[in-house]
Structure 1
């Protein structure tokens, strides 16, 4: 059984039970064909969503047995704005199997919210419900969703060709998964898998401009799947020297996921002109 203590909090988000009052906010994006393109359901309006929210078999705040789903609102912690909805499905008690799902309002894309939410769902699944294995299933064409699951620490296990018909067409399905012991590993040790370390020598006299540029650039890196958090510190002895520490799920999340993205070009344009000389970047893992 799973009966979470609500709200479930992450660094930037809260997950809470949905109510019928959330129907307008959900309809704002679930009624859009582009949002529903890779989903199993067709666009639905406020009336249809309200009916689902009033159905206790579809909208519940706790899980009492397999076959049930936990459907939750995904809201920003700072102002309560609903940015999406997420679901945790308890599939099988004997096998300890579950599944996660998520839909984000496109107006709030690009901030890493979906990855942060999936991490919270995995915490409920493994630490709260005691599941053994959790999967995420998606249309193979949905590259953005695949990035969400990779960023949350799930691995790609299968590509099923022409696996099911969705909205009148045969589609390929991709399956991502993670085991409980894999999920608990680095978290149980209380450390991130990888920490990026960079000493940033900023041109003297441009510190204020650099800090303003960094505030503008920060959302670009936060939107990367696999991003875990960062700190930027300023030296007391050398005020034009800064220390950047970024936690990643793995090196690939930084080197391929961020540096290989269009966001990195904007990051480079904002920050690199301030460096003299260019900083050395290294990656570290904790040792016992």
Structure 2
């Protein structure tokens, strides 16, 4: 039986950001972000004018999945007094048995260009390796999402493919949910690319992330 204690009451901190479990208090901010073409530029299949009740249902489902160790939803806020909403991150899918998770990030457009992606990677992916015991983290993004692709490659997270990930793990992960429905992790990534980092590769990536974050802090 997997230890699910680390999935509950998550509170993580970076130099500028805090990360906490998503809750229904985030409905208004999530609704605005998911309905904003700037935030969803590289997720057009998910862009529409969302209703708050739809987002509330999504959050409730994610909370239930998190209790089972199948996903993690985190809200990002600034650490200052105002606690500004920055975006959302976490793991859309986790397979505890295969020790693999799919990390994702959506930032409020008002917080683009601040280097927050590096901080979210460092804190949340680090948590997954150090506390959840994952062996592999994958990031699936659109071919045209140059900011995310650059962020990954610049810190040593390499473009990969699902076959390589599965062979490295020696097991086949469970199903994941895509915009087109539920499929196995061997589905075709049309118009998307996959990046992967293993627990053994993570220390080197973590060091590069640290340098990126320190450089950003120096120019604040």
Asked whether the equivalents of residues 118 and 213 of structure 2 are also in contact (C-alpha less than 8 Å), the reply is no
Match of 1:110, SS?
coil
Asked whether the equivalents of residues 140 and 171 of structure 1 are also in contact (C-alpha less than 8 Å), the reply is no
1:173 to 189, 192, 205: 192
- Which structure: larger Rg? 1
1:34 to 27, 34, 38: 38
Once the two structures are TM-superposed, the CA of residue 149 in structure 1 deviates from its matched residue by 2.6
Asked whether the equivalents of residues 98 and 134 of structure 1 are also in contact (C-alpha less than 8 Å), the reply is yes
Once the two structures are TM-superposed, the CA of residue 16 in structure 1 deviates from its matched residue by 0.6
Aligned to 2:214: 229
In structure 1, how many angstroms separate the alpha carbons of the residues matched to 2:216 and 2:161?
36
Aligned to 2:52: 46
TM value normalised by structure 1:
0.57
The number of aligned residues is 190
Listed as ranges, the matches of 1:45-124 within 5 Å are 45-53=51-59, 55=60, 57-60=61-64, 62=66, 64-65=68-69, 68-78=70-80, 79-124=82-127
Once the two structures are TM-superposed, the CA of residue 153 in structure 1 deviates from its matched residue by 4.1
Which one has the bigger helix percentage?
2
Alignment RMSD: 3.3
**Which stretches of structure 1, 4 residues or longer, exceed 4 Å deviation after superposition?**
60-63
Note if 1:22 corresponds to 2:26: yes
Asked whether the equivalents of residues 3 and 61 of structure 1 are also in contact (C-alpha less than 8 Å), the reply is no
Gaps of 5+ in 2: 163-177, 181-188
Once the two structures are TM-superposed, the CA of residue 171 in structure 1 deviates from its matched residue by 4.1
Query: Structure 2 vs 1, CA of residues 194 and 111 (structure 1 numbering), >3 Å: closer, same or farther?
Result: closer
Which one has the bigger strand percentage?
1
Match of 1:229, SS?
helix
